[in-house]
Structure 1
Amino acid sequence: MKDTNENYFYIPQIKRRNQKAALFKFATMAAIAFSISFLVFFLVDIVRAGYPAFSQTYIKIDVAINEEVVENPYGAINAKQLKIISRAWLRDLPNLIKENPSWMNSTQTFWALANSEVDQYLKGKESRTSERDRAYVDELKEKGNVELKFNTIFLTTGDSKIPENSGIYAAVIGSLLTMFVTIVIAFPIGVMTAIYLEEFAPENNLTHVIEVNINNLAAIPSILFGLLGLAIFINFFGVPRSSPLVGGMTLALMSLPVIIVSAKASLKSVPASIRQAGFGLGLTKWQIVRDHVLPVAMPGILTGSIISIARAIGETAPLIIVGMIAFVPDPATSVTQAATVLPAQIFTWAGMPEKAYLERTAAAIVVLLAVLLSLNAVAIYLRKKFERKW
């Protein structure tokens, strides 16, 4: 009878415990579902907003080529066309004629770049195009003289004060040069530092203080690294401002703590039996680390390093401090020339008053997300590859 009463007493507790477990499971699943739905909404909204930037309006016009057109390209078309054609296309027309001298004293047909307001109107967005110009554009569209074509300008040109002539090419080149400098500096220094601290550094207070400070540096705001780069690299060492060199060095400072922490964790996860087997064979400490410990830890080291570099690609605040927010229409050809990067380009376009820059902002974000996802995919691939090998 006593056992029966005790079992009866514990049944409500078990029910409450199961209810709490079920509630906790429901809360975790709801949190995951909310996170995934938010991510999907974000990606869909960004792609929806940025997709129109990959197409651009062109208008078919006939131009009588002569010496006056070379001297004054704005006189090559009539007043109606002048209101809907891009100033950038008219500005480049004399150079195009000089490259093709056989066009002189003849009438040529061109697909001219439309201005951003006409482009926005044809895409069904808010536009400041007048009713008269809209009627003229509709008339040309009915005749087949207006087309939406793939926007090669967005991928092959740099920034411009004319919205329809702006692109991300210069920013992409600047990002690649900056990331090259970051990787060359941060990866070897970070890995070697982690090897020393984990395998060779003595266990004393100084080593403990260094490790604590490295962990703290991994959590401080990125803008502080920009201030550090401004004070040390630009003001003290005189590194060229707005260059991929100073930007890469600044991002390397920011990436180092994360690389060191992830590399130390990977080295620590290597089984002690591997080290003991090496000592049993008479190998030195360095031979054990170089030939056995480091290869086994390499998947985790590469994963942490690539994720750290991917985070650095998306940073804007430290690069603004070192001047990489400047208007740079031409791509840099070396790490010492002035350049901009993709996050800074996105930041600049987001503050522009013209509506055409908004879709280019979203399109640039799509490109940046594609780069980040590619780097994470590379990290996963390398991790799996090294895990299979070792």
Structure 2
Amino acid sequence: MTSTNTSFLKGQAHLTKRHRAETRFQMMGRFAIALSLAFLIFMVGSIFWQGKSALQTHQIALKLDLSAKNVDPADIRSARFDAIIKAALRETFPDATKRAEKRKLYGLVSTDAGFELRNQIEEDPSILGGTQIIWVSASDDVDIFSKGQIDRHVPESDRRLDDQQIGWIDNLAENGAIKSVFNTKFFTNGDSREPELAGILSALVGSALSLSVCFLLSFPIGILSAVYLEEFAPKNRWSDIIEININNLAAVPSIVFGLLGLSIFLSTFGLPRSSPLVGGMVLSLMTLPTIIIASRASLRAVPPSIREAALGMGASPVQATFHHVAPLALPGMFTGAIVGMARALGDTAPLLMIGMVAFIVDVPKSFLEPATALPVQIFLWADAPERAFLEKTSAAIIVLLLFLVLMNIAAIILRKKYELRF
């Protein structure tokens, strides 16, 4: 009896110890998840905090002389709009008499202010014929100072704006001649050397064109390769070698695919450098292993009874595969394709090797024109010395994250649709 009680008590103690160990393990797991979420929230939050200011920019109001002596209504493009803006600045701040002071005064407005004025006149010629108050873009230094990113209390030698320039900005603010507006140029302009003019449109279009080529090549080839290897290929030495190589290619660094594209697509076939066509072909090489592996796993997950029932009803192996097995595996195939496309969207190294790191201002209109991509644009802006490019970098990262979210939402919708259908 005593021996039985002792064994029971030992068993209870062991069980209690095991429950405590399981509880500790669960607590450690929850702590790890909470810590990961905290780091993720901190990272994304810091990016949003830095990038949100890029969606706002500042404009300066100037009293411009748009009379016929300065702007000929019959020949608007021949007018010297930069000279008109400079004259208005000198009239607003007559204390700038020296050459160096005038240069600093002209630096209050964007270098693109003359083109802005010309475009406004071409859109609305009725503003010609006298003195008008026109809003033009401020320079990047004035913009970040107005956003509070330049501390006026630090020594003058340690900031980009001196006391005289800050005084001019304060004067404009007191007179209501400076305002904050939504930065549409960030979405409608291409890249620029000037931060206040730089936008993501050319990079966004370049990414869309490259991903289009990537999807059109990698998705059908990857799906058909997976179907053949999983359903029709004989299980022998050669199929094992192919499977091993596909698995190895999925782990190859992306820059290797860039070197492959550089040596084959550019050097051997002579395709256009920096074009979305070459970029999409390189990205398709990189995403093919991922799509093939995910698609094979989806086909393998279909119950064998589906195949057996189709074959038992007289269907051929091709009919059983494409009419019954493949449709059931299609949601998983879409998931694999999205994973591969997401990797392609955020990868930079292979695009750098084929020249898509070039400075591109114009928006590409075809698959053969020079272009850049959004992750490459982020890489270029992150390396820029100007302070204003930091917020542009964060804002571009936000756009990239939103693009990924939209891709995943589209994948979920398509997957749900096919799940309901089959």
The normalised TM-score by structure 1 is 0.96
Q: Distance in 2 between matches of 1:11 and 1:278?
A: 55
CA separation in 2, counterparts of 1:279 and 1:326? Answer: 55
From 212, 232, 250, the counterpart of 2:264: 232
1:119 maps to amino acid: D
Does structure 1 residue 122 correspond to structure 2 residue 146?
Answer: yes
Aligned to 1:72: 80
Q: Distance in 2 between matches of 1:283 and 1:94?
A: 70
Aligned to 2:371: 339
1:6 maps to which residue? 7
Alignment of 1:217-256 (within 5 A): 217-256=249-288
Deviation of residue 375 (structure 1)? 1.0
Aligned to 1:168: 200
Selected match of 1:263 from 295, 299, 307: 295
Moved more, 6-15 or 324-333: 6-15
> SS in structure 1 opposite 2:112?
helix
Is contact 2:214–2:281 with CA below 8 Å preserved after alignment?
yes
Q: 1:307 aligns with which of 336, 339, 349?
A: 339
Matched, 1:110 2:134: yes
Question: What is the CA distance between 1:123 and its match in structure 2?
Answer: 0.1
Structure 1 pair 351–264 and aligned structure 2 pair: CA distance change class (3 A) = same
Match for residue 93 of structure 1 among 100, 112, 117: 117
Aligned to 2:228: 196
Structure 1 contact 258–304 (Cα < 8 Å) conserved: yes
Does the C-alpha gap of structure 1 residues 282 and 157 become closer, same or farther in structure 2, counting only changes over 3 Å? same
- Mapped partners of 2:18, 2:379: distance in 1: 51
Cα distance change on mapping 1:11 and 1:237 into 2, 3 Å: same
- Shift in Å at residue 219 of structure 1? 1.1
1:106 Cα deviation after fit? 2.3
Cross-structure match for 1:383: 415
Instruction: Report the residue type matching 2:220 in the other structure.
Output: P
Which 4+ residue blocks in structure 1 deviate beyond 3 angstroms?
66-72, 91-105
1:32 is aligned to 33
Counterpart for residue 168 of structure 2: 136
Structure 1 unmatched ranges of 5 or more: none
Note the alpha carbon deviations across 1:6-51, whole angstroms, 9 max, x for none: 1123233222212211111111111111111111111111100000
The answer as to whether partners of 2:62 and 2:89 remain within 8 angstroms in 1 is no
Over 3 Å counting, the alpha-carbon distance change for 1:288 and 1:74 in structure 2 is: same
How far did 1:131 drift? 1.4
**In structure 2, C-alpha distance between the alignment counterparts of 1:377 and 1:90, rounded to whole Å:** 43
Shift of 1:216: 1.1
Whole-angstrom CA distance in 1 between matches of 2:311 and 2:115: 73
**d(CA) in 2 for partners of 1:325, 1:86:** 26
SS at match of 2:179: strand
Q: CA deviation at 1:101?
A: 5.3
Say whether the 8 Å CA contact 1:57–1:113 is kept in structure 2.
Answer: yes
> Which residue does the alignment assign to 1:52?
53
Amino acid at match of 2:82: Y
Which amino acid letter does the alignment assign opposite residue 80 of structure 2? N
- The offset of 1:97, in angstroms, is 4.2
User: How far apart are residue 290 of structure 1 and its match?
Assistant: 1.0
Partners in 2 of 1:91 and 1:381 — Cα distance? 44
Q: Does 1:275 align with 2:307?
A: yes
Aligned residue type for 2:147? K
What are the ranges of 5 or more consecutive residues in structure 2 without an aligned counterpart? 72-77, 94-104, 151-158
Could you tell me which amino acid in structure 2 is paired with residue 356 of structure 1?
A
Separation in structure 2 between the aligned mates of residue 286 and residue 123 of structure 1, nearest angstrom: 64
Task: Tell me if 1:84 matches 2:129.
Answer: no
How far apart are residue 96 of structure 1 and its match? 4.8
Question: Residue deviations 1:40-80, cap 9 Å, x none?
Answer: 11111110000000010001111112555654333213345
- Larger mean CA deviation between 241-250 and 87-96 belongs to 87-96
Tell me the CA shift for residue 194 of structure 1: 0.1
- Structure 1 contact 157–167 (Cα < 8 Å) conserved: yes
Q: Deviations over 1:292-325 (max 9, x none)?
A: 1111001100111012101110111110111111
Bigger CA drift: 44-53 or 97-106? 97-106
Residue 214 of structure 1: how far off its partner (Å): 0.4
When normalised by structure 2's length, the TM-score is 0.89
> How many residues were matched structurally?
390
1:141: how far off? 1.3
Q: Aligned residues: percent identity?
A: 43
SS in 1 for 2:148: coil
Secondary structure, aligned partner of 2:372: coil
Cα RMSD for the two superposed structures: 1.6
Secondary structure of 1:84's match? coil
